[in-house]
Amino acid sequence: MILLDGKQAAEAMKKDIAREVARWSREWGRKPHLAAILVGDDPASQTYVRNKENDCIQVGMDSSVYRLSESISREGLTECVRTINEDPAIDGLIVQLPLPGHLDEQQIIETIDPAKDVDGFHPVNVGRMVLGLPAFVSATPAGIVDLLQYYHIPTSGKECVIIGRSNIVGKPLANLLSRKGPGGDCTVTLCHSRTLELEKVCRRADIVVAALGQPRFLKANMVKEGAVVIDVGISRVEDKSTKSGFRLAGDVDFEEVAPRCSYITPVPGGVGPMTRLSLLKNTLQAAMKRN
Ligand code: GUN
């Protein structure tokens, strides 16, 4: 069993991004700039946004965070999005999800300028990605494809089972893995809460992606010997033995599943760093397109 070390892969690829950022910044006299909107004070979201800021600094990009109150109105939030859309010094914008319950996430996403939508969540980018046109591709699916390619794991003709049909991961990943060309050409089955005989379906897979958000859901009896297992889950589970009182758990029961795999991602340090890398790649791409 080989660990798919997303942290190491992302660090290696960040060096290329940093070189490209330096070249672009010299040419245009400014740095690519990522803006993040953070609504409320959810601790996990705060950590994610802080990590994204640090990533930007590490590769020589500018970043700014707009912190808004939990009780901000839809009008207040869309006004903030509009200001950033119109700011010529900002290349990419993300609105950290989840948003508080009174705000309609899809409605907010649709106010982002598609040319700055480096999360790839706007319907224009989703549609273009599905059609195989140049688009910002959502960061986690793009990061998973990059990780498979980094480890030279073949995808062409392979059976891939994805558990979880979210707009952010499952649906776009099914599209990417089944599209024509390098990193694609998989036969994809997209499973969800109504899928019948899930164990049997999963056991068919050469590549299993667990992206449903249920800690330790994927068990050894759901995985074929020699399969590649990608764990997208990252939940906080209570653990009184740690200082913070919690630890991170993936959607895969790692202890049970790992011995059966050819490759498996750890949590943390697998998919997460690759997601952050994709966001940097998209931000650089946004800056390049604007000039
Ligand atoms: N919340 C969880 N994942 C993501 C992501 O990729 N982008 C944003 N904006 N919010 C998230």
Domains of the chain, start order:
29-113 (3.40.50.10860), 139-271 (3.40.50.720)
| Residue 251 CA: distances (Å) to CA of 4, 163, 220, 235 | 16, 10, 12, 8
10-residue averages of pLDDT along the chain (291 residues): 98 98 98 98 95 97 98 98 98 98 98 98 98 97 98 98 97 98 98 98 98 98 98 94 94 98 98 98 97 78
| Predicted local distance difference test score (pLDDT) of residue 291 | 78
* Cβ–ligand 1 contact at 278 (below 6 Å): no
- Which residue puts its alpha carbon closest to atom 8 of ligand 1? 96
Give every CB contact of residue 6 below 8 A, 6+ residues apart in sequence.
Answer: 143, 147, 265, 269, 270, 271, 272, 273, 274
pTM: 0.96
Distance in Å, CA 221 to ligand 1 centroid: 31
| DSSP string computed for 124-168 | HHHHHHHHT-S-PPPHHHHHHHHHHHHTT---TT-EEEEE---TT
Residue 122 confidence (pLDDT): 98
Whether 139 lines ligand 1, by a CB cut-off of 6 Å, is yes
Is 142's C-beta closer than 6 angstroms to any atom of ligand 1?
Answer: no
